[in-house]
Amino acid sequence: MAKLYFYYASMNAGKSTTLLQADFNYRERGMRTLLFTAGAHDRGGQGVIDSRLGIVADAIPFAEDTDLRLIAEEAHFQAPLACILVDESQFLSPAQVRQLAHLADEVGIPVLCYGLRTDFQGKLFPGSAELLALADSLVELKSVCECGRKATMNLRVDAEGNAVRQGEQKEIGGNERYIALCRRHFMQRTAPVGAAQ
């Protein structure tokens, strides 16, 4: 039976690298895959999944209103899909997560989603919340805080390295905008100025 998987982690944990390795493994065995990535994510170009290690693959970009189920079913009808892989899955809408669950449950295609669990304020992304609720398998990929503990949080910083406490939930950036931290250091860095730590 096909499953819906959610691989989640903080920034710089290798989510895209892990996705691209899984895609390679399927393709190496002659199996067909379908890759999606958030249209808002354009670090390597529109419709590109890129790893900081330099590995890249083309993908179908999605917006909040993209019908992933329709695209996947049409592709599967043309030639059977062995797997669907979704990068930046935190940007999925709850309805899209349900479409992916349908593809696993009713069409029989495994769906592997990779993304952030929380934003720079420690709040769940809507897509991540739905995946945490519906996924058959939850897998945490590990990253390391500057103190050596497991990093679970994503701190957004300004040009001077100061914590950003307000703003849009979606803001694409890499090492220049985000720092992966353990909860303790995230809470310390985001505490109001003058608050006891």
User: Could you say which DSSP state residue 65 is in?
Assistant: T
Which of 64, 88, 140, 171 is an active site residue? 88
64 has catalytic annotation:
no
User: Which positions ≥6 away from 121 have C-beta within 8 Å?
Assistant: 165, 169, 190
Residue (of 117, 114, 34) closest to 79 by Cα position:
34
Q: How far is CA 58 from the centre of its chain?
A: 16
Distance CA 100, CA 110 (A): 9
Q: How far is CA 2 from the centre of its chain?
A: 20
Distance CA 122, CA 181 (A): 11
Catalytic residues: 88
